[in-house]
Amino acid sequence: MAGPPTPARPLGRVARGAATARVKIDAWLDFACPFSGRFWRNCTAAWASYDGKADVAIVVYNQPQPWHAQSALAHEVSLGVERLRGEDAFVAFCEAAFSEKNWDKFTDKFTEKMTKGEMYDLYVDVAREAMTGAMGADAAASTAGEVRKLLELDAEALARGEKNPGNAMTQQLKFYVKLGRQTGVHVSPSAYVNGLFADTSSGWSESEWHAFFDAARGK
């Protein structure tokens, strides 16, 4: 019997630490959210300087927000990068997308006059930049081109007369939306520690994050 589509593996990617870490911090982030950007930068920087980091893993989940029209497009690009080049490339995309350098590219103000295709091109270029360091300029450019193809409308579905066929990444994005709703995630950033909601702040200092890690570890 065939039920609804299901993901081929558990959702989420370990951005810092190890999958076997005793404390797992699930971070639901949106590329178009300034608070998600600060959460990423502050939390990962604090993790890097934390003495007990071996006990702590930061796992990232996609949390598109409908009040940012560009949000879903950026998430589709990130998922395309992951499909073609794996979790490390996805994390590299997060680093680039949440960086101070690229942040403006994901804002409402910057994208207001852009078409859907122009926004895809913009975020694919961020992906190309993110992958260049690991694989070189030529391979990164080639992969970026492959990502862009994944974002084209499903040609077979169009030929059947469908008018909202989606693209190769649509179903994967739906998995994250469904999981977020089931988990109770409503906004970004949202954080869960070992499955339980945690009240965090994107404005925490390094010492505040260290105290949070300590509490999560029972120290």
SS3 59: strand
Tell me the mean pLDDT in the region 133-155. Answer: 97
Q: pLDDT band at 218, cuts 50/70/90? A: very high
- Averaged confidence pLDDT in the chain: 96
Please enumerate in sequence order all residues whose Cβ is within 8 A of that of 105, keeping only pairs 6 or more positions apart, or say none. 111, 122, 123, 126
Instruction: Tell me which of 2-6, 26-30, 201-205, 214-218 is least confident.
Output: 2-6
- pLDDT, average across residues 130-150: 97
DSSP secondary structure string for all residues of 19-46: TT-SEEEEEEE-TT-HHHHHHHHHHHHH
Cα 194-196-198 angle, rounded to 5 deg: 105
Q: Output the six-digit token pair for 125.
A: 């270029």
Q: Which whole number is the average pLDDT over 39-52?
A: 98
Confidence check: pLDDT of 39 > 80: yes
pLDDT at 1 over 70: no
Cis peptide bond upstream of 189, omega within 30: yes
CA 180 to chain centre: 13
Look at the block and give the residue holding tokens 């990130």: 78
3-state secondary structure (DSSP) of residue 217: coil
What pLDDT score was predicted for residue 3?
A: 80
pTM: predicted TM-score of the whole model, two decimal places: 0.96
Q: Decide: 154 and 167 in contact? Cβ < 8 Å.
A: yes
Tens-digit pLDDT profile for residues 62-107: 999 999 999 999 999 999 999 999 999 999 999 999 999 999 999 9
